[in-house]
Amino acid sequence: MKSPYLTLQPSEQTIVTAAATIYAAYIAAGRVEDGKESAWMDRALKAAFRIAKKADETVQADQELD
């Protein structure tokens, strides 16, 4: 059996880090019920992506100034 291998681009890594933080907060708040983990992970990923997209629309990066 092949061992799973995953390669994420830097922007994907950033989204995963944010989503993991959001998901951990859901767990800490007692929101994640047994058997519902996948739905809460999806929710955390969508939230992290929305935050990243909003930041991209709102903040001008140094490279975008040229």
**Domain residue ranges in the chain:** 10-55
Whether 4 shows a pLDDT value over 90: the answer reads: no
Calculate helix-pair angle for 10-28, 37-58, nearest 10 degrees: 130
Question: pLDDT (tens digit, 9 = 90+) per residue, 6-58?
Answer: 999 999 999 999 999 999 999 999 999 999 999 999 999 999 999 999 999 99
Query: Residue 64 above 70 pLDDT?
Result: no
Q: Quick one: pLDDT at residue 60?
A: 84
- Considering the entire predicted model, what is its pTM? 0.82
Residue 62 pLDDT class (50, 70, 90 cuts): confident
